[in-house]
Structure 1
Amino acid sequence: MTQEIQGTVADGYEAVREEFAAFVASERPDYEGQLSAYVGGRRVVDLWAGDGVDAGSLYGVYSSTKGAAHLVVALLVQDGTLELDRKVTYYWPEFGAEGKGALTLRELLAHRAGLVGTDTGFTAAELADDRLLAERLADQRPFWRPGTAFGYHALVIGALTGEVVRRATGRTLQEVYEERVRAPYGLDFFLGLPAVHEPRFRPVQPMEPTAKQQALLDSLPSGPHTLTSIAFNRHTDDPTDLVALPNDRTVRAKGPASVGGVASARGLAGMYAAAISEVDGKAPLLKEDTAAEFGQFHSVGYDLVARTHKSYGLGFQATADTWHAFLGAGAFGHSGAGGSQAFADPRSGLAYGYTRRRNAFPGGAAPENERLVGAVHRAALAAG
């Protein structure tokens, strides 16, 4: 039975609805997802599908959280509160232990710290609490010489940059985000989900790989002491279950800045729209120079954790590389392990958000984003 597509599109974006409907028709009958896009600060796509889903349904968005976290950092750099080329120890002296003293904030944001985890791993309580993570990480010896290479700091980058924010401002990253970004725009993108919104949360459902996909998963390196295992906290007696993370109320309530965000597609796209465009009469959050610097390529090539080609700006993924067939230079955003994707393309004025309930294979931006991003981008160009 084909699911009905709900929501609206602006004139000229009908092809996006058709592309979303074609994708949903090809998916499992229990598919749930949302798609939203803004152009020039105006919402032009607002679609969803699935039993019991609406535009306000909330999903765990995993590493798409990093986009919200590092929008805060970008704002503080823009204000002059933080300086990218200062050493991290200027703000956080304890960070300098074990040979990390020369690392700059710019290098930290670009995943160049070599501090992807700890030798003994983290407890579930630590993973939910950025302050506890930062305390553990300050004493850890880096896994490569800081600044010489890069690798995805999957579960910890938000705690590291968040501690810099806390030391510089006296407030948590989550508090600054709430005051300066989420609340002023009424965004359904939370770093710390209030209990009143819990009924809107849709628990993540685990991926069910095909036989071919499972064979590929089984072939991936899985040694307990690899960088990848350390970065994803799988080298402990109680390895982290990524599916379970957003389904834990403690994680949702505390909103750890690497993976703990809860959002709708509207919330994801709305945040990036606010970052680069005038929205509801409010000036863009980021000046052009700030957006350009944070979207600029800083780490490109072989990622020591992901074991493949990756590209990062400052705290954000360099989305211009991910969707190079569509997006302009300087596009920035972040995907999440469950399949979510969100970004801003300053050159076209496009802001995009996508969520889904069931984890996608193989993790990160779900494959359907390629066709959906392409459809939105073509419509935006045609609409002028």
Structure 2
Amino acid sequence: MTNDVSVDLIAEDRFAPVVDAFARTLDETDRSGAALSVWLDGQPVIEARGGTADERTGSPWRPDTLSVVFSCTKGLAAIAIGRLLESGALPSLDIPVAEIWPEFGAHGKDRVSVGDALAHRAGVPAPRVDVTLEQLLDGGEFARIVAAERPLWTPGEAHQYHAVTVGAISAQIVARISGLSLGGFFASEIAEPLGADTWIGLPADLEPRVARLVQGQPAEASPPADDDPDAEWLERAVTLGGAMDPDLLGPGEGFNDRELHAAEIGGAGAISSATGLARIWSATVAETRGVRLWSTETAEAIAQPRSVGLPFFNNGPGPYQAWGAGVMIPSDWDPYLTPASFGHDGAGGQVAFADADARVGFAYVTNRLRDMDRGISVVTALRDALG
């Protein structure tokens, strides 16, 4: 274990190799950092952190440091929808989204089920119209744009990752059923009961706790062919035609911007500590701090495989991700802990999930973008430790 790692908790000696694996992910501690939290049977068993939260000041990663967790937000939105399913306010994942949000039924999307929409099967991963940052930050306006889109394929017949647009769908489902915004419902039903430092829409007074994101090395990949018709759609799924930069940070502030931290961007904008994220996932599979968010039946319904294998666009060679209703499920892309795992990774290298069989809640949070292998390597060490 390196001196750059502060260990707040190792409940048992068998977890020491997991912390060692975590320490090995901190190879740029002068500019970035990370935190790890693991809960077992509703109790914390590992809390560790290390590296730098803000390279401009050299401030270290502290127990209460927060970070943007990018697409881990999709998993949190799925937890919120699971709460609605649990209570009966959402009768089934198989009802059409348009029964909840009538405008979404435009252009043949009227039969898209909630489950299929959350599993990236709705056919609207990227808008044809250029979306501005202002429109993205205005959740209602962005939702209007998504609802008005003509699908790129017959909904339900294929899947393609809806990198940002699925957040608008999730937010509208939650808002129209509960009467609260996604961030408001998430706070009152999930984060606050658990005392979790996790927000979809960060209050201004917490901004000083947020780690500053830094760009990692881009993954090596062959440039798309000039005649590849899918390349533009894949880029638009992230950029929305102008709202965001492809690398999420430059040339402006990107996800370091206070405006984005404050916005309730349901596909990418949550901000959390590792402990808050792991505690929330723990509560989907085990009573945690007196709270159980989901029953076994709800977890099984959300995690049921819906989208696996080759996506609609040419994403290049596998491995490919797999999804249930709003959650990533084990695949060659990320095997997680066991076949009973479900959660969501983030573009910044974050990994967060629960495992129903092992009764684990896990979160690896970092402010250095890219390199998913870091978090996955820690999960591998945990799998070995649990036997």
TM > 0.5: yes
Give the corresponding residue for 2:323: 312
- Given the alignment of the two structures, is residue 335 of structure 1 paired with residue 345 of structure 2, yes or no? yes
Of 304, 318, 322, the residue aligned with 1:296 is: 304
Give the corresponding residue for 1:14: 16
1:75-114 aligned within 5 A: 75-82=83-90, 83-114=92-123
* Counterpart-to-counterpart distance in 1, 2:255 and 2:244: 17
User: Structure 2: which amino acid aligns with 1:75?
Assistant: R
Give the corresponding residue for 1:226: 232
- Given the alignment of the two structures, is residue 41 of structure 1 paired with residue 42 of structure 2, yes or no? yes
> 1:29: Cα distance to partner?
4.3
> 1:310: Cα distance to partner?
2.1
Preserved CA contact (<8 Å) 2:303 2:325: yes
* Counterpart-to-counterpart distance in 2, 1:234 and 1:206: 20
Of 268, 278, 289, the residue aligned with 2:277 is: 268
Secondary structure class of the residue paired with 1:300 = coil
Preserved CA contact (<8 Å) 1:96 1:138: yes
Give the corresponding residue for 2:212: 203
TM norm structure 1:
0.90
> 1:253: Cα distance to partner?
0.8
With over 3 angstroms needed to count, the CA separation of the structure-2 counterparts of 1:330 and 1:245, relative to structure 1, is: farther
Q: How many residues align?
A: 369
* Counterpart-to-counterpart distance in 2, 1:80 and 1:234: 34
Give the corresponding residue for 1:350: 360
* Counterpart-to-counterpart distance in 2, 1:135 and 1:234: 14
Structure 1 vs Structure 2: percent identity of aligned residues? 30
User: Structure 1: which amino acid aligns with 2:4?
Assistant: E
* Counterpart-to-counterpart distance in 2, 1:5 and 1:63: 26
> 1:116: Cα distance to partner?
1.1
Secondary structure class of the residue paired with 1:62 = coil
* Counterpart-to-counterpart distance in 1, 2:333 and 2:200: 25
Preserved CA contact (<8 Å) 1:227 1:304: no
Of 63, 76, 84, the residue aligned with 1:68 is: 76
Question: Deviation per CA, 1:141-167, whole angstroms, max 9, x where unpaired?
Answer: 011111110000001111112112222
User: Structure 2: which amino acid aligns with 1:231?
Assistant: A
Moved more, 127-136 or 91-100: 127-136
* Counterpart-to-counterpart distance in 1, 2:254 and 2:3: 28
* Counterpart-to-counterpart distance in 2, 1:253 and 1:237: 16
Preserved CA contact (<8 Å) 1:319 1:334: no
Secondary structure class of the residue paired with 1:310 = coil
> 1:330: Cα distance to partner?
2.9
Give the corresponding residue for 2:157: 148
* Counterpart-to-counterpart distance in 2, 1:208 and 1:93: 43
> 1:230: Cα distance to partner?
2.4
Query: Once superposed, what is the RMSD of the aligned Cα atoms?
Result: 2.2
Q: Which runs of 5+ in 2 are unaligned?
A: 53-59
Preserved CA contact (<8 Å) 2:126 2:240: no
* Counterpart-to-counterpart distance in 1, 2:230 and 2:349: 25
Give the corresponding residue for 1:250: 259
* Counterpart-to-counterpart distance in 1, 2:74 and 2:20: 31
Preserved CA contact (<8 Å) 1:317 1:332: yes
With over 3 angstroms needed to count, the CA separation of the structure-2 counterparts of 1:271 and 1:28, relative to structure 1, is: same
Of 101, 111, 118, the residue aligned with 2:127 is: 118
With over 3 angstroms needed to count, the CA separation of the structure-2 counterparts of 1:220 and 1:273, relative to structure 1, is: farther
Preserved CA contact (<8 Å) 1:320 1:332: no
* Counterpart-to-counterpart distance in 1, 2:200 and 2:265: 7
* Counterpart-to-counterpart distance in 2, 1:321 and 1:296: 17
Preserved CA contact (<8 Å) 2:143 2:169: yes
Question: Deviation per CA, 1:157-184, whole angstroms, max 9, x where unpaired?
Answer: 1111211222222221211111010111
- Given the alignment of the two structures, is residue 165 of structure 1 paired with residue 174 of structure 2, yes or no? yes
Question: Deviation per CA, 1:50-109, whole angstroms, max 9, x where unpaired?
Answer: 141112111111101111111000110111111211111111111111111111112111
Of 173, 193, 208, the residue aligned with 1:184 is: 193
User: Structure 2: which amino acid aligns with 1:264?
Assistant: S
* Counterpart-to-counterpart distance in 1, 2:330 and 2:363: 13
* Counterpart-to-counterpart distance in 2, 1:238 and 1:333: 25
Question: Deviation per CA, 1:288-323, whole angstroms, max 9, x where unpaired?
Answer: 011011112111111225454221011011136544
Give the corresponding residue for 1:378: 384
Preserved CA contact (<8 Å) 1:112 1:149: yes
> 1:49: Cα distance to partner?
0.7
* Counterpart-to-counterpart distance in 2, 1:76 and 1:354: 27
User: Structure 1: which amino acid aligns with 2:183?
Assistant: Q
Preserved CA contact (<8 Å) 2:132 2:243: no
Preserved CA contact (<8 Å) 2:29 2:50: no
> 1:349: Cα distance to partner?
0.7
Moved more, 268-277 or 119-128: 119-128
Secondary structure class of the residue paired with 1:33 = strand
Of 287, 294, 298, the residue aligned with 1:286 is: 294
TM norm structure 2:
0.89
